Structure 1
Amino acid sequence: MTGLISKCILRSAALTLAIVGTGATAACAADKITIIVGGMEKQIYLPAVLTQQLGYFKDEGLDVELINSRAGVEAENELLAGAVQGVVGFYDHTVDLQSKGKYIESIVQFSQAPGEVELVSAKHPEIKSPADFKGATLGVTGLGSSTDFLTQYLAVRSGLKPGDYTLLPVGAGNTFIAAVKQDQIQAGMTTEPTIAKLLKTGEASVLVDMRTPEKTKEALGGDYPAASFYVQSSWVEGHKDEAQKLANAFVKTMKFIAGHSAEEIADKMPKDYYAGNKDLYIQGLAGGKAMFTPDGRMPADGPETVLKVLSTFSKSLQGKQIDLSKTFTTEFVDAAK
């Protein structure tokens, strides 16, 4: 996001705002909240755009701007820099950052499963499990991203060491597909709608599926709270009213998702999110809709699973005591309308 966000400091309602675009001239408004999304085209982060499309932010009297990022690690950096108020990204960043002395927390939990799939290129049928990653180049959205975390866990769990394979940041969508086609990566982790497109063409197949809670438990040993809305803990303390209004809007969206079909949800999304094929978009959403929480609540044992996964390979977590109670709060979801 370097060069994409210029900061505008305004201490009216104690909000620090971000304006999109180099040399942007838009005026800062005290009631505006900027949220960066770690890939708005990904179905795992669908609740952010859907909330805007349904008008729930406006219903709460909020002026919310959503801006796009290639990967969650870039989004968290913008948050820590004070350029934005919140991030739609994976909950596991809250655990990782606490190990580095930085405190952020999820205030609404969108999903209870990653919604990710490890795909293997059709050119490499020799890769039949993560144990076969040795010598392979594996695609992730970005280094330090949640796809990086999960890929490392799958490899280490299968007995491999970090030097046995190479991680290559290839983004998502068309850049991921191009990396598969050009054999830059032999396998990689991605989300819908990219998954459905590669499966349809036969250029890749599913190696590890984490699109539903059941399949996630098989792969990771428990619920893995993933997509969430997180903010800096210090921001929450000074902006309870804004945090509550955001939670109200997001919780309404989670209930909308739980009560509507994939087709009905897709009809509410911008057409350019279909990636050129609405039927495939709906198909992917129908297959993965179970990843979403029905009410924005954190799965009971989810944080422990995340800590277990990250502790398997993360050097920054070694010898550290992580206070999981500081990585999320249910305060605002509990009070949501």
Structure 2
Amino acid sequence: MLVRRSFLGAASLLALPATLRAQALEKPKLTLAVGGKNLLYYLPLTIAEQLGYFKAEGLEVSIVDFAGGSQALRAVVGGSADVVSGAFEHTINMQVKGQRLRAFVLQGRAPQIVLGVNPKTMPNFKSVADLKGKKIGVTAPGSSTNVMTNFVLAKAGLKPSDVSIIGVGATQGAVAAMRSGQIDAISNLDPVITLLQRSGDLKIVSDTRIVAEAEKVFGGPMPAACLYAPQSFIDKHPNTTQALANAIVRADKWIQAAGPNDIIKTVPEAFLLGDRAVYIDAFLAAKGALSPDGLVPDKGPETAQRALASIDPEVAKASIDLSAVFTNDFARKANQKYPKA
């Protein structure tokens, strides 16, 4: 009996590290929603997945891809997803609606969204005011591409109701909609934008892939893609949240040190939209707008609130607690764990 007890005691000690690891992550299996996973806007998410960074943190992440960020947002609000890889501004919009969502690691330090017109249907385009009465394609109605469109329109004195907003997704469907003349303008991201640009099917009006241009458009640093989750999820699963932040920060740093060939070898073939050269150009155009460290810039939430308030009366009149829509605590710890790429 003593021998058996000793054996069981030793076995328990051997099993202890694994048990502790299992206890450390409150929710090792989780669902993450994203709107347009192929976009360079979400490149850190894809890198973290493809290079096994989530697995290295003990996570099994099931990524569900939607046509646009507004649909990914609905998934987490409805309970079918735990976390969203989406646009930062959704955290502000949802606080106004009584939903507590919080960003905890950044993927993009500029929106990377490009608004451009169709040279076929608008050959005489001179200014944004010419878009009145026109059809504008966005990834999905209510998504960040729609918000950017409304913002640029507002600066030109136009209301959202002055145009027709059409959801065209973020892949070949968006390209086809422009080339066939179904839409007169498009608000989208890379690689869609670079593909249209190279084929002469796009005239750029506003380009927030360039950090300086984005800051000029929005009047300050405009945080973009991030991981956000309900505050209740973060409170209940702090170690899981930290593991997610670790993986994304590691991916952020890897991207900054990577060359175009490294990216091409890592992303799924389908993301290239049939043209590797276009994807390389798109990556080089977007790289500067990707976050180097996962940290939300200090003035970023204020910029996002101002931008939203200028186009949404509800946001303008609401009393918003910006400290509740983001935290850099997890990203800071992730940078301590992964100081280099």
**TM-score above 0.5:** yes
Question: SS where residue 296 of structure 1 aligns?
Answer: coil
Which residue is 1:258 aligned to? 256
Aligned partner of 2:228 in structure 1 is 230
Q: Match for 1:56: what amino acid?
A: Y
Partner Cα separation in structure 2 for residue 329 and residue 290 of structure 1: 23
Aligned pairs for 1:7-26 within 5 A: none
* Correspondence list, 1:55-204, <5 A: 55-123=52-120, 124-204=122-202
In 1, distance between residues paired with 2:261 and 2:96? Answer: 41
CA–CA distance in structure 2, aligned partners of residues 109 and 69 of structure 1: 20
Offset at residue 136 of structure 1 (A): 1.2
Q: State the partner residue of 2:301.
A: 303
Question: 2-side partners of 1:325 and 1:266: how far apart?
Answer: 38
Q: Indicate yes or no: 2:42 matched with 1:45.
A: yes
Matched residue, 2:218: 220
**Contact 2:308–2:316 under 8 Å retained in 1:** no
Q: For structure 1, list consecutive stretches of 5 or more residues without a partner in the other structure.
A: 1-11, 17-29
User: In the comparison of the two structures, how many residue pairs are matched?
Assistant: 312
Q: What is the TM-score of this pair, normalised by structure 2? A: 0.88
Query: Residue type matched to 2:107 in 1?
Result: F
* 1:9 alignment partner in structure 2: none
1:165-203 deviations in Å (ceiling 9; x for gaps): 221222222111222123221111011111111112111
SS for the counterpart of 1:138 is strand
Q: What is the Cα deviation at residue 129 of structure 1?
A: 2.7
Using the TM superposition, give the Cα deviation of residue 142 of structure 1 relative to its aligned residue in structure 2, in angstroms: 1.4
Contact 2:114 2:209 in 1 (8 A): yes
1:333 to 312, 319, 331: 331
Q: Distance in 1 between matches of 2:133 and 2:77?
A: 35
Residue in structure 2 matched with residue 314 of structure 1 by the alignment: 312
Following superposition, the deviation at residue 162 of structure 1 comes to: 2.8
C-alpha distance in 1 between matches for 2:247 and 2:159: 43
How many Å separate the matches in 1 of 2:58 and 2:326? 25
Measured after TM superposition, the shift of residue 163 of structure 1 is: 2.8
* Cα distance in 2 for residues equivalent to 1:300 and 1:119: 30
Stretch deviating more after TM superposition (230-239 or 192-201): 192-201
Structure holding more helix per residue: 2
Contact between 1:100 and 1:316, CA under 8 Å: does it hold in 2?
no
Regions of 4+ moved over 3 Å: none
Q: Secondary structure at the residue paired with 1:242? A: helix
Residues 1:218 and 1:129: Cα distance change in structure 2 (over 3 Å)? farther
Bigger Cα Rg: 2
TM-score by length of 1: 0.89
Residue 242 of structure 1 aligns with an amino acid whose one-letter code is T
Post-superposition shift, 1:126? Answer: 2.5
- State the Cα deviation string for residues 226-275 of structure 1 (Å, max 9, x = none): 11111111110000010111111111111111112233222211122111
Provide the C-alpha distance between the structure 1 equivalents of 2:165 and 2:58, rounded to a whole number of angstroms.
43
Could you tell me which runs of 5 or more consecutive residues in structure 2 were left unpaired when the two chains were aligned.
1-21
Deviates more, 1:60-69 or 1:30-39: 30-39
State the distance in 2 between where 1:182 and 1:292 align: 31
Deviation at 1:133, TM superposition (A): 1.4
Which of residues 262, 284, 287 is equivalent to 2:285? 287
Structure 1 residue 36 displacement after superposition = 1.1
User: Structure 2 CA distance, aligned partners of 1:250 and 1:110?
Assistant: 7
CA distance in 1, matches of 2:56, 2:162: 51
Quick one: distance in 2 between partners of 1:296 and 1:266?
22
Helix, strand or coil for the counterpart of 1:318? helix
Cα distance in structure 2, aligned partners of 1:233 and 1:34: 16
Amino acid at match of 1:99: V
Query: SS at the partner of 2:140?
Result: coil
RMSD: 1.7
